[in-house]
Amino acid sequence: MNIRRTMKTRRAMTAVAITTGLVLTVAGCGGGGEEEPESEKSSSSPDGKSDGDAKEDKQSQPAADESVLAEVKGEAGLTLKVTSARRDQGGFLTVEGTVTNGSGKAWVAASWRGDEKELTKNGGSMAGASVVDPQGKKKYLILRDTQGRCLCTRFTGGVLSGQTTNWFAQFPAPPEGTEKVTFQVGAMPPAPIEISEGE
């Protein structure tokens, strides 16, 4: 007797649990045909991607509103952009930007590492970059530490075809009055840039 009652009770509870689950599922799926509030619409991007997808896209691509000081193309499909040239209080000029490999094959930046013997251990890097002050008629080479490592980006593993990657390079800062310089690396055309003052 007790076993039968227990079985009946369990079956009834299971049926109630399943019915409740189905009711909640149907209630959750029903939109009622109402417009989605503006606050909820803003949580997803206009192209139907979720916030997570949008964040990933932002990380893999440079921001569209990022200022571009100069853009040059050369070396079989490479595009170099300079997005910042900042004079720091410590007497350094930090230049930053992106490089896009449109060559159709992997690029290792071998020609960008420079000809100086001291810089050969930097591998594919921005080590051969320079800044020219046309007004002061002076060329500034990349800064390096006591072991010859450049204060710049090293492209470890290279840059795949179609990929865009960020880079930076540090130089001695030109004199205070100098506002415009020319940036060059490898066989890329010279890129005229304007210096901004850092904090």
Is a pLDDT exceeding 60 seen at residue 112?
yes
Percent helix, strand, coil in the chain, to 5, is 25, 30, 45
Q: What is the pLDDT of residue 117?
A: 81
Among 51-55, 77-81, 118-122, 136-140, which is the least confidently predicted range? Answer: 51-55
Is a pLDDT exceeding 50 seen at residue 26?
no
What is the average pLDDT score of the chain? 77
Q: What is the pLDDT of residue 10?
A: 54
Q: What is the pLDDT of residue 173?
A: 95
Q: Select the more confidently predicted residue: 76 or 183.
A: 183
How many other C-beta atoms are found inside a 10 Å radius of the C-beta of residue 159? 20
Of 84, 48, 111, 50, the C-alpha closest to 168 is: 84
Q: What is the pLDDT of residue 50?
A: 44
Among 13-17, 115-119, 160-164, which is the least confidently predicted range? Answer: 13-17
Determine the 3-state secondary structure of 26 from DSSP.
helix
| Mean per-residue pLDDT, 121-126 | 89
Residue 173 DSSP code? P
Q: What is the pLDDT of residue 49?
A: 46
Q: Select the more confidently predicted residue: 197 or 183.
A: 183
Determine if the pTM surpasses 0.85.
no
Q: Select the more confidently predicted residue: 148 or 13.
A: 148
Q: Please report, rounded to a whole number, the percentage of residues in the chain having pLDDT higher than 70.
A: 66
Is a pLDDT exceeding 50 seen at residue 28?
no
Q: What is the pLDDT of residue 13?
A: 54
> How many Å separate Cα 194 from the centre of its chain?
22
Determine the 3-state secondary structure of 121 from DSSP.
helix
pLDDT in tens, 49-88: 444 444 334 334 444 446 899 999 988 899 999 999 999 9
